[in-house]
Each structure stands twice: as structure tokens, then as C-alpha cells.
DNA sequence: TTTCACCCTGACATTAAGTGTCAGGGTGTG
DNA sequence: CACACCCTGACACTTAATGTCAGGGTGAAA
């Protein structure tokens, strides 16, 4: 839907401090440059304070429209630290997402809170490297979200390789590992898999329905 | 242009005290009723607080339409997990703040993302109890924020109690502990203090200025 | 001055989205 | 119950949007 893309453009311009070229926007939004030029004309006709300059790119003229979100100091601390914690315990995709989310929240803040938020002397430490490759994490997050079954090859504690089709129900982040909770169609029961022990994970086209007794919440109730 | 009509609908609903029927809107905007129903569905998916009731008509639920805050799926995952991580590693104050922040972000999302956000099967695990008392954490966060010196009583590794006045510069959350980084006025150097080993912490009225070489960033550069 | 990186717009074939009509089902109020 | 409304799917048709190509402009750096 085009209207979503128009809002996305405004979003990106707001978040980014430097001009963005039509080429960059087009690539990021998977449309042609011509479409971006048209979108800009539409946004301008709607009164959005967007300006384009030859050789430079597009930028936002003023801080516009989005009413500030109101977070108190504790809430902002929680956000900063939370985003740091997840960034230091996940893969590049999720770490970058945390950074982007932080930037968006920053820009939705009122002026007086932005500086403090941006420069807050708070950090999170992880014993592992700051960001690293966690193969399959993004695949699992997507599968959980879309309720898509996965064909899994797993190396268990006995060093045996098993294969099965699972319903990925939920994910848990630990300090140094991720755990995928699934309903195993082979064993007809819940099973947990350490993500780092997964050898292969292939998405299937098969989605799984909601079934009482086989949901993430049902598993959590067994703990 | 459709987007103009969508905004026109919002304007009419905002201005009118009583419900307006799709038939009336259709006539006024020179489109069919079916188109109005579609437009309403679009507006609702965008998060506009518009409600329709059989036999009554459409009206605005609240007096104010917030343009949605746009987070993609990865960003929402990062927020959920980050808030869970911090909530499970801090004191009640910060854990509650994380929950409040999560709720506020949820409210700022468009309608179609709220349900998914709210019920996301993602969690964070901590080996310590979910929330607990961490004496002085809030005091330190405030002191860091306001750049206020603290009179500290600390139990070091040799089981000796020391007292000193410090400039609290920053905080680091570890998996099971918090570390306060400070500039110690007694030793004239950086010092780190495990928050759980602090015996007392008294705020002073004295604030400390920015001094090159004595900031949290300066300390981070030594690592 | 030239070159490069960008903004900008028209034209046109193609693709995608939107529309109105029709049908059928539901809710609220008097 | 009748009436006034909301709601949604299907489908033929209409309109809007898109990408490619072409050509022109501006600002900054060499």
C-alpha cells in the first residue's frame, strides 16, 4: 500500500540526520527512483516539510507532526539498557534492529530529552563478543511470528544428529545462548533446542494452527 | 487521490459530534458506500481511532489521531526482548519502568501490530529472581543523570570497608551484577564499584562539572 | 571550466490498486 | 418485528501507480 510507503519515507527522513538520496530510498524501499520522486511530490503536495536539493538529497525541513512520546527518566534508562542488552546478545540483524528502534524512539522524544537519551552513560556488558553470527536466529524469529513449520537438523547432547519437523512456538534469550521452544510433531510433545546446536533449519510452506495445549503459553505453564 | 479522501473522512468525523453513516459520507465524497467501508478498514489498519457501529454510524473514539510509530518486525522483537532482559536484571523501579515503556510503545503502534507485539512469544531468562531489590541502583542512576557526587561506603574484596566521595559517571549491567563507574576524588582516578557491595550511598548537594579525562567516555577508552 | 552526484519531469507500456454493483449476513434501536 | 445502519466477498471494469527511458537543471569539488 502506497500510503505506508509515504509514512516510511517520512520516518527515514526523520531518523536520518543527513540528506538521503532518492537512489538510497528507492533501494531501501524496493521501488524505482522515479517512484520516489513521485512520492516526494505527493508528500510535498500534502504539506509535509520535505525538501530536495540537487547533488545533496532529501531532508526534513523542520521537526514536524509526530507528537512527542512521554517517557520518564526511569523508562528511558530501561529502554537504553534493554536495547544495549539485546544488542550484545544477538545476531547482527537483531542488534541493528535495536539500534534503529533506539533512534526512532529518540526522535519521537521531546527536544529536551533527546540529548540526555543519546548520551546516557549506561551500557550493557556481555561476555561474548558484542555482535556475532547466530545462524538461524532470524529464521526462527520469522517462523515463530508467521507460525511456519521448520524442518530441523539438531545435534543433541549425546552428539547425535536428529531430524524432525517442528512447530516453532517461542524463543528465550539467555545470557549466552538462545533457546527455541517448539512442538515436535515426531514426539508429539514440547521440545527445546539450543539455537547454537542447530545444524540446519529449513522453512516449510506449512503453517500450524492454534491448538490448545500446544502453544508457547502452554509450555510456560509447565515450568 | 485516495489519501486525501482518507484525511477528509477523519476531518469530518472529528468535526461532527454525532455518528455519520457510510451513506452520508459516500454522498458527500462522491464515492460508493463500499468504498467508504474500505476506507474505514484502511484507516483502522493505520491506527486511526475510528469505530463503526451497526445501526448507528461512524465516529471518532478519541479526539486525536496519532500518526503511527513505525517499527518493523525485527525492531519490535528487539524492543520486547530488550525490555524483558532489563526487567529480569534490575530492581523493581527499573523493571516497572520497562513495563510502562513497553505499554507506551504498544499504544503508539498501529492497530495491526499491537496484538502481535502484546502476545509475542519471546522472553528473556535470568538466573536470578525476576525482580529483586538492588539497593542504591535508583540512587546511582539518578546521581549519574544529575551529575551529583555521592558519599560512598564500600566493602571491597578484602572485606575492608572504605569511605569516599565519588563522581558517579556511568553504569554497566552485567548478567548478574551492576557496576558503577566513578571518578574517585580520594584516589584521583577511575574506580569501579559493584553495586551489590555498596553498604551506603548518600547523595550530596555537590554536582561535578564536565572535565576532560574524567568522563565515562574517557574511562571507556581505557578498556 | 568540467565532472560528478544528485534533483526533476514527461512519455508510454505495463502492472497494480481501487471502484461500483450485487449479494448476503450481522447489530442496535424503537 | 421493521428499519437503519455496519460489514465483507466476488467480479468486471476503471483508474492509479510503476518502471524504463530520455533529457534538463543545480551545487560542490577538482
* Residue B171 near residue A85 (C-beta atoms within 8 A): no
User: How big is the A-B interface in CB pairs under 8 Å?
Assistant: 191
pLDDT, one tens digit per residue, over B158-205 is 888 988 889 999 998 888 888 999 998 888 888 999 998 899 998 888
Interface touch A104/B79, C-beta < 8 Å: no
Helix axes B2-15, B33-45, angle to 10 degrees: 80
Q: What is the pLDDT of residue B128?
A: 60
Nucleotide whose C1' lies closest to the alpha carbon of residue B23: D5
Nucleotide whose C1' lies closest to the alpha carbon of residue B37: D7
Put residue B57 in one of left, alpha, beta given phi > 0 → left and psi -120 to 50 → alpha: left
Nearest Cα neighbor of B3 from B63, B86, B80, B67 is: B67
Which class is domain B2-60?
mainly alpha
What's the CA A100/C1' C7 distance, rounded, in angstroms?
A: 27
In chain A, pLDDT over 90 holds for what percent of residues? 10
The three-state secondary structure class of A4 is helix
* Residue A43 near residue A9 (C-beta atoms within 8 A): yes
Out of A42, A90, A104, closest to residue B69 by CB: A104
Q: What is the pLDDT of residue B66?
A: 45
CA A197 to chain B, closest CA, distance in angstroms equals 19
Strand D contacted by B187 CB (< 7 A)? no
Per-residue DSSP letters for B115-173? HHHHT--EEE--SS-SSB--TTHHHHHHHHHHTEEEEEEEE-TTS-EEEEEEEEEEEEE
| Chain B interface, best mutation among A70, A77, A100, A166, by max B CB count within 10 A | A77
Cell of B60: 471518532
CA A155 to chain B, closest CA, distance in angstroms equals 23
Residue A37: phi and psi, rounded to 5, are -60, -40
Nearest Cα neighbor of A144 from B69, B109, B74 is: B74
Q: What is the pLDDT of residue B62?
A: 53
* Residue B148 near residue B203 (C-beta atoms within 8 A): yes
Residues with CB under 7 A from strand C: A 1-3, 19-23, 33-34, 37, 40-41, 51-58; B 2, 5, 30-35, 38-39, 53-56
Among all chains, which residue has been given the C-alpha cell 544488542? A87
- Residue A68 pLDDT class (50, 70, 90 cuts): very low
CA A137 to chain B, closest CA, distance in angstroms equals 11
Task: Examine the pLDDT at A41 and tell me if it is beyond 70.
Answer: yes
Strand D contacted by A21 CB (< 7 A)? no
Q: What is the pLDDT of residue B34?
A: 93
Interface touch B78/A87, C-beta < 8 Å: yes
- Tell me how crowded residue A82 is: count the other CB atoms within 10 A of its CB: 33
Q: Pick the residue with more confidence: A179 or B73?
A: A179
Q: What is the pLDDT of residue A67?
A: 43
pLDDT, one tens digit per residue, over B106-143 is 767 765 677 778 778 888 877 665 556 788 888 898 88
Closest residue (Cα, C1') to D9: B34
CA B180 to chain A, closest CA, distance in angstroms equals 10
The three-state secondary structure class of B210 is coil
What's the CA A2/C1' D17 distance, rounded, in angstroms?
A: 9
Cell of A204: 516449510
Name the residue ranges covered by the structural domains of chain B: 2-60, 73-118, 137-221
- The residue length of chain B stands at 223
- Residue B22 pLDDT class (50, 70, 90 cuts): very high
Task: Examine the pLDDT at B89 and tell me if it is beyond 80.
Answer: yes
What's the CA A3/C1' C20 distance, rounded, in angstroms?
A: 22
Out of B69, B101, B173, closest to residue A75 by CB: B101
- Residue A35 pLDDT class (50, 70, 90 cuts): very high
- Please give the CATH architecture assigned to the domain spanning B137-221: Roll (2.30)
Task: Examine the pLDDT at A100 and tell me if it is beyond 50.
Answer: yes
Amino acid at each position: 500500500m502506497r500510503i505506508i510507503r509515504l509514512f516510511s519515507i517520512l520516518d527515514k527522513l526523520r531518523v536520518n540526520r543527513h540528506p538521503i538520496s532518492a537512489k538510497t530510498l528507492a533501494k531501501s524501499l524496493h521501488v524505482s527512483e522515479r517512484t520516489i520522486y513521485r512520492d516526494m511530490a505527493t508528500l510535498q503536495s500534502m504539506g509535509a516539510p520535505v525538501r530536495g536539493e540537487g547533488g545533496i538529497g532529501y531532508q526534513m525541513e523542520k521537526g514536524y507532526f509526530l507528537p512527542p512520546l512521554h517517557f520518564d527518566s526511569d523508562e528511558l534508562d530501561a529502554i537504553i539498557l534493554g536495547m544495549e542488552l539485546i544488542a550484545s546478545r544477538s545476531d547482527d540483524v537483531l542488534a541493528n534492529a535495536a539500534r534503529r528502534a533506539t533512534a526512532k524512539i529518540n526522535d519521537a522524544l521531546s527536544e529536551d530529552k533527546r540529548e540526555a537519551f543519546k548520551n546516557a552513560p549506561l551500557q550493557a556488558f556481555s561476555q561474548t563478543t558484542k555482535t556475532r553470527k547466530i545462524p538461524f536466529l532470524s529464521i526462527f524469529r520469522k517462523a515463530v511470528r508467521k507460525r511456519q513449520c521448520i524442518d530441523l537438523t539438531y545435534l543433541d547432547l549425546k552428539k547425535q544428529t536428529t531430524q524432525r519437523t517442528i512447530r516453532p512456538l517461542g524463543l528465550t534469550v539467555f545470557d549466552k545462548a538462545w533457546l527455541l521452544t517448539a512442538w515436535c510433531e515426531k514426539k508429539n510433545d514440547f521440545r527445546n533446542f539450543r539455537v547454537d546446536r542447530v545444524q540446519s533449519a529449513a522453512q516449510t510452506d506449512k503453517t500450524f494452527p492454534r491448538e490448545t495445549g500446544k502453544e508457547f503459553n502452554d509450555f510456560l505453564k509447565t515450568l
